[in-house]
Amino acid sequence: MEVGIFRLVLDMNGKKVFDLVNNQDYPAGKHSLSGVLPEILPPGNYLLTMRSGQKILRSIQIVKG
């Protein structure tokens, strides 16, 4: 079974500032994801959030210097 995954970059107030992946399908199982923050984002603290539908799968804080 495949599920649609969204990877979003949010500011620390929870406002979406960038979509890294928008509804990409992944088969069930473990996956390794990598990426680079867009240069247009100013330095600061952000949340990288992965979700499927309305369910948050994982959220981590990242710092762009």
Q: Is residue 35 part of a domain?
A: no
pTM of the model: 0.70
pLDDT along the chain (65 residues), means of 10: 74 87 76 73 89 84 89
Which sign does the torsion angle of CA 53, 16, 13, 62 carry? positive
Q: Is residue 34 part of a domain?
A: no
**What is the number of domains present in the chain?**
1
Report the candidate in 48, 5, 35, 9 with the shortest Cα–Cα distance to residue 23: 5
Contact 23, 7 (CB under 8 A): no
Contact 19, 10 (CB under 8 A): no
Residue range of the domain that includes 52: 2-29+40-64
Q: Is residue 15 part of a domain?
A: yes
How confident is the model at residue 3, as a pLDDT?
Answer: 65
Q: Is residue 60 part of a domain?
A: yes
